Structure 1
Amino acid sequence: MANIIIGSGPAGRLGSYELGKLGKEAILIEKNYIAGTCLNEGCMVICALSDISKFIDSNRRFNEYGFIKSQIEISYEKIVEKIIETQEFVRNINQMENESVGNQIIYGEAEIDGDNIKVNGESLEYDNLLIATGARPHIPDVKGNEYGLTNKDILKIDDIPDKINIIGGGIIACEIANIFSTLGSEVNVIVRSEFLKEIDSDIKKYMLNHILNNVNILEHTDISECGKNKVVLTNGEELEGIPFFATGRVPNSEIAEGFVDINPDKTIKVNEYMQTSRDNVYAAGDVTGGWQLTPVARMEGICAARNMANYPNKISYNSIPQSISLNTEVSFVENEKIKDVKTKTITMPSIAGPYSFWKILPGDTGLTKIEFDSENNRIKKINAISPSSVSDVAYLSYLMRIDSPLDKYSEFIEIHPSNDTNYKIIKSLWL
């Protein structure tokens, strides 16, 4: 009997690959496309479109400076065509990678039947099972919600919409707003409570003033109805534009209902070994809730796989770095283990370097804010806006996870030229 993995997103794909590397027989079952939401409907699609929005933003800036004179003609149809072509290429690589360690991949919809998995009319026994079925966009229960688009529909849009109404106030809503406002759409973001309420207030203020300044954000506002090209607010006001839902995600846990314990929010309940209420059944990725991030899903899938292969392994979620993919990246991390201590905060403009030199004159190079525990010599929280913030914060989050003292940061040498954010942070800590 083999180890069976249901779902080939980051959790399932990396979990099955880890099992193969450990010499264990693994069967990976996928209903649609290998690589899951990330490649096919989510973050990689956002990255592809964000690359284009960054180029458009730079072109606008260079035209304003007068040393480039150009007009950009955008073909959304061609953008979609090339994204799909790239997705197909990457899917082939992901499949070959899994098959290279001896794994079998079956395309079909799986059904759990006790100690067997039914797929394509066959019944397969398993030693261990990993459920990595991911999540899907949440659709609000409002009249006309069938007209609303989600991240699953971005590559189905025929052309750049003249107007778009994004319902939701989280990271996905923010990224979609940035992309389409840069592409030329008139964008409203309709937020039931507060826009990006988890983001530091100084960082959010900078984002609104310097990055999302062409986006109309309506906080403490809700909708009562959607139309094909409109939304109706609860106060009766109508806003023209395509409705787009960015209102959270729902776990695809139906496959496991009545089989393993399910949390009240419909996520699959797991312990620190990614083990469910059944000893030989594991779950990982978005279907378990928590941090719905690709790197975390990978980490969970690998953790589950090692336990399935009898290599005991626990999961830890401390100091998980995050980012928002905009025309200038926003990244942040917090060490949750540091609590109830007096901290010192340093706020500084980000330094210019690659992709930000031409932002010096208008003062758009970014902002970095760091909070540290001076008594215990540890970093507590970092928020950074700069083209290099993704790598900067990822590096610093690692040092936070291994509980490195601040003195060790001075041993870090950057590759120059870069934005030198780490260097400036390190230099400022002892001022």
Structure 2
Amino acid sequence: MKNIVIGSGPAGRLGSLELGKLGEEVLLIEKNHIAGTCLNEGCMVICALTDITKYIETNNRFNALGFVKSQLDISYEKITEKIIETQKKLRKLNQMENESVGNTIIYGEASVEGENVIVNGESFSYEKLLIATGARPFIPDIPGAEYGLTNKDILKIDSIPKKLVIIGGGIIACEIANIYAKLGSEVTILARSGFLKDINDSAINKYILENLIPEVKVYENVDVCKITKNSVITSTGEKFEGTAFFATGRVANSEIVKDVVELNPNGTIKVNEFMQTSEEHIYAAGDVTGGYQLTPVARKEGICATRNMAGYANKISYDDIPQALTLNLEVSFVEDKNIPENAEIVDIAIPGIAGPGIFWNILTGDTGMAKISFDANENKIKKIATISPSSGDDIAYLSYLMRENYDLDDYADFIEVHPSTDTNYKIIKNMWL
């Protein structure tokens, strides 16, 4: 076999699809379900559940305003049943897409032995190999950790927990907190250090806490020392009642090649800018390599790796990567990590504006916000964070303009779609151009 890809998450699935489009011979091996964590245990599950919480919040808002009178009866069991039903349909489509370019797909647990890959007792030799085995939830070495849930358990639990104690203070912790709080759980977050450090903006974090998840109790700089079936105990002896949920990061599934290629100290696979490992004919991409654990980045890495495998030189760049939180109002952000020392940074923030999905929030004032940082010397955007129904699309396009090094004056001809909730154009055009 000329090319073997192990793992069919965003990196492996898109990478093998790219190889097939290039006319390459491809064997794609998947241990469980095609499309990996994103569809089966991660972001797609979060998005599906957040659609429900948005509906609940909208119903509550309309009831409070007095022009709708309704009472919802939520079935968590039915929600998970329909999510699983949808996943099965998407898996079929993803498999058909890969097979449509001539790729062969095998399901089973693979092992790498020298120049061969073993799966289901059958041995396949390869010329080029891509490891795209992803990552799994990191479970801290804490007594009673076996009682804790992770994102892998969301579709397995029978009912909404009465009380949920989330261990971790990052994006996943915030998204899980929002879902279960809106579904009726009493939710507490225990962050080992600061809450939502990745956003790196106190104003945005404050808005999230006060307006998007006000019912969630957040404790920072907390160390958990023990977990029981119905509680979490901290190093100070404080006891929080509820089911524990780990949102403590992820660990690479790199064991398959730990004796074959060089690993980083944290166990991720070491790769160069071509996604090539210490063995020149073996490549790796996606969460198994560490770095940005984001679906779009994994896709980009998978395509980069397989183009190189096919002989088309391709490098990966991680400049100005946009990120988001899936909450009842989307929160998206991007930051230039290479700001000059002499930069004259100017921050401008304004409340969100009326538009699709936000009109009925005006009466209560929770319409979101936007904050943009400019370098006045270079006349360029260096950081953006925005909270609105359109924030994901807004930041995706604006981050592209940042990567392409556009000057603020280049925004002069920008025409927004109306009606829109995008506040960025208002800041850029009305206040700077």
- Whether TM-score is above 0.5 comes out as yes
* Alignment-derived partner of residue 237 in structure 2: 236
* Residue 407 in structure 1 maps to residue 409 in structure 2: yes
The alpha-carbon deviation at position 425 of structure 1 amounts to 2.6
1:313 and 1:79 mapped to 2: Cα distance? 42
Q: Deviations over 1:334-375 (max 9, x none)?
A: 122332211111111111111111111111111100001122
Asked if structure 1 preserves the Cα contact closer than 8 Å seen for 2:194 and 2:220, the reply is yes
Output aligned runs, 1:169-184, within 5 Å: 169-184=169-184
Q: What is the DSSP-based 3-state SS (H/G/I as helix, E as strand, rest coil) of the residue aligned with 1:73?
A: coil
Calculate percent identity across the aligned residue pairs: 66
2:194 and 2:350 mapped to 1: Cα distance? 25
* Alignment-derived partner of residue 90 in structure 1: 90
The alpha-carbon deviation at position 157 of structure 1 amounts to 1.0
Q: Deviations over 1:207-259 (max 9, x none)?
A: 11111100011111122111112111222222211100000000000011110
* Alignment-derived partner of residue 357 in structure 1: 359
Output aligned runs, 1:112-127, within 5 Å: 112-127=112-127
Output aligned runs, 1:411-422, within 5 Å: 411-422=413-424
The alpha-carbon deviation at position 80 of structure 1 amounts to 0.3
* Residue 427 in structure 1 maps to residue 402 in structure 2: no
Q: Deviations over 1:265-284 (max 9, x none)?
A: 00000000000001110000
Q: Deviations over 1:77-127 (max 9, x none)?
A: 000000000000000000000000000000011110111101111110111
* Residue 16 in structure 1 maps to residue 19 in structure 2: no
* Alignment-derived partner of residue 99 in structure 2: 99
Q: Could you tell me which amino acid in structure 1 is paired with residue 202 of structure 2?
A: S
Asked if structure 1 preserves the Cα contact closer than 8 Å seen for 2:411 and 2:429, the reply is no
Q: What is the DSSP-based 3-state SS (H/G/I as helix, E as strand, rest coil) of the residue aligned with 1:45?
A: helix
* Alignment-derived partner of residue 145 in structure 2: 145
Q: What is the DSSP-based 3-state SS (H/G/I as helix, E as strand, rest coil) of the residue aligned with 2:251?
A: strand
* Alignment-derived partner of residue 79 in structure 2: 79
Output aligned runs, 1:184-203, within 5 Å: 184-199=184-199, 200-203=201-204
1:405 and 1:429 mapped to 2: Cα distance? 15
1:167 and 1:197 mapped to 2: Cα distance? 15
Q: Deviations over 1:363-403 (max 9, x none)?
A: 11111000011221211000101111000010100101111
TM-score with structure 1 setting the length: 0.99
1:169 and 1:7 mapped to 2: Cα distance? 29
2:153 and 2:203 mapped to 1: Cα distance? 33
* Alignment-derived partner of residue 250 in structure 1: 251
Output aligned runs, 1:268-347, within 5 Å: 268-340=269-341, 341-347=343-349
User: More displaced, 218-227 or 52-61?
Assistant: 218-227
* Alignment-derived partner of residue 208 in structure 1: 209
Alignment length, in residue pairs?
A: 431
The alpha-carbon deviation at position 304 of structure 1 amounts to 0.2
The alpha-carbon deviation at position 411 of structure 1 amounts to 2.3
Q: Deviations over 1:30-86 (max 9, x none)?
A: 000000000000000000001111111111111110011110110000000000000
Q: Which residue, 361, 368, 371 being the options, matches 1:369?
A: 371
The alpha-carbon deviation at position 298 of structure 1 amounts to 0.1
Q: Deviations over 1:6-28 (max 9, x none)?
A: 00000000000000001101110
1:275 and 1:411 mapped to 2: Cα distance? 42
2:340 and 2:3 mapped to 1: Cα distance? 41
* Alignment-derived partner of residue 223 in structure 1: 224
Asked if structure 2 preserves the Cα contact closer than 8 Å seen for 1:8 and 1:30, the reply is yes
Unaligned residue ranges in structure 1 (runs of 5+): none
The alpha-carbon deviation at position 429 of structure 1 amounts to 4.2
Q: Could you tell me which amino acid in structure 2 is paired with residue 76 of structure 1?
A: Y
Q: Could you tell me which amino acid in structure 1 is paired with residue 227 of structure 2?
A: C
